[in-house]
Amino acid sequence: MSRLPHTSLAYALLQAARIDAAVFAGQSLADGMLARVDSQARPAVQDLVYGSLRQYGRGDFFLAALLDKPLADTEVHALLLVALYRLETRPDAAHTVVDQAVVAAGEVARGRFRGLVNAVLRNFLRRQTELTAAAQRDPVAAGQHPAWWLEQLQKAYPNEWQGIVEAGNSPPPMALRVNCRRTGRDDYLQRLQQEGIGGRAWGRDGIVLDKPLPVDRLPGFDEGWVSVQDPGAQLAAELLDPSSGVRVLDACAAPGGKTAHLLERQELELLALDLKPSRCRRIEENLGRLGLAAEIKAADCAKLERWWNGRHFDAILADVPCSASGVVRRNPDAKWLRRPEDIASFAATQRRILDALWQVLRPGGTLLYATCSVFPTENREQIEQFLQRQADASRRHEEQLLPNAEHDGFFYCLLDKRA
């Protein structure tokens, strides 16, 4: 427990450092670490965590130049990374940032590193111009992505890779999906304008907000009028587009955004699967807020004997586990937790899921393969290999969305099963 006032910058720096240190030890932000932070301080801590992780390659480069040897204490190392991020983004408050980082250091390792934290940060301020110029010449510091990740992007997208990297290092847009069962998109846009919230239409059901805001400021959120969902993710329901009354499987459904979108658009007999009961509860909660219902089961979708009753599906959404390389601005820990060999492991899982789900799709049915990845191994190459294995499969539509100012990165391939 920290003795620091929860409203202080020192508390925010310390909590952010502890979360970063947990990430470097292998934990994921998806494990809910931010939820354990004092609610008043949570927005500031979240900004420090996400910002310092997005810029980890840059901060680590600075520390390599500022320290004589690597720090054995991971919390102190993380505290310096968080403080460096704050110094770069709030140069007008440099004195306060250094002072509060030293106060935070007093809570770590019995305060033994207060002097070191003070010296390192002041040295950075003295050498900032020199170090910033050097960082621009270092691929990882400038790209703020691991070297192997940058190499894959350059190989796959020789003309677009820099834009992908820039998007991955930027704060994400906030977009909404209007629940057409509760209100119309144009009506909701008008309601936002009345509340002084700017936004513009995107796609059939989407709105991209001018700037992010807490969901409790969104009119009708608790009543299920809208959900937060990236515009690129909203394409899944539009592409699969099942007819009313048909039998649909959402095979990797949590947290339920795409499930809900399918049900908002049509009356369906829908089964939603996910591996963990805790994740299935999130699907239930999301559907409940929106006034929707589906059959929900906790199961590995590739192990048919655990859940399939022998009835075939007319349409299947296979939003498979992947590297999340298209959404790293929302999951900045992913690019530092991933390893090159993980991509092959994800590809093997995707292959297993695709081959299993093809068996439960009726002849004449449609399967939408989806990832939030930009790596071809998980996307185009995966589909090419699948088509070679399955003689009754044909590709109707394929689309690779690259992350930009409006949406994240997604891959979609619509597959038809010949009758």
Residue 136 pLDDT level (bands cut at 50, 70, 90):
very high
CB 34 within 8 A of CB 42: yes
Query: For 238-282, what is each residue's pLDDT tens digit?
Result: 999 999 999 999 999 999 999 999 999 999 999 999 999 999 999
Q: Does domain 230-417 have CATH number 3.40.50.150?
A: yes
The pair of three-digit structure tokens given for residue 205, joined into one six-digit string: 């059901």
User: How are beta strands 199-202 and 410-417 bridged, if at all?
Assistant: unpaired
Per annotation, catalytic residue among 280, 322, 372, 413:
372
**Whether residue 65 has pLDDT greater than 90:** yes
Question: What is the gyration radius of the CA atoms in the chain, in angstroms?
Answer: 23
Sheet holding 313-319, edge to edge: 295-298, 269-274, 247-250, 313-319, 361-371, 410-417, 393-401
pLDDT of residue 1: 57
pLDDT of residue 38: 87
Name the CATH code of domain 174-229 (choices 3.40.50.300, 3.20.20.370, 3.40.1160.10, 3.30.70.1170).
3.30.70.1170
Reply yes or no on whether 372 is catalytic.
yes
Domain ranges of the chain: 9-141, 174-229, 230-417
Find how far residue 141's CA is from the centre of its chain.
22
What does the alpha-carbon distance between residue 146 and residue 338 come to, in Å, rounded to a whole number? 9
pLDDT of residue 182: 96
**Whether residue 39 has pLDDT greater than 90:** no
CB-based contacts of 238, cutoff 8 Å, min separation 6 = 203, 204
CATH second-level architecture of 9-141?
A: Orthogonal Bundle (1.10)
Residues paired with 270 in a beta bridge: 248
pTM higher than 0.85: yes
Question: In b/e form, how buried is each residue of 329-357, taking b as 16+ CB within 10 angstroms?
Answer: bbbbbbbbbbeeeebeebbeebbebbebb
pLDDT of residue 56: 94
Residue 226 pLDDT level (bands cut at 50, 70, 90):
very high
Which region holds residue 220: left if phi is over 0, alpha if psi is between -120 and 50, else beta? left
Amino acid 33 reads M
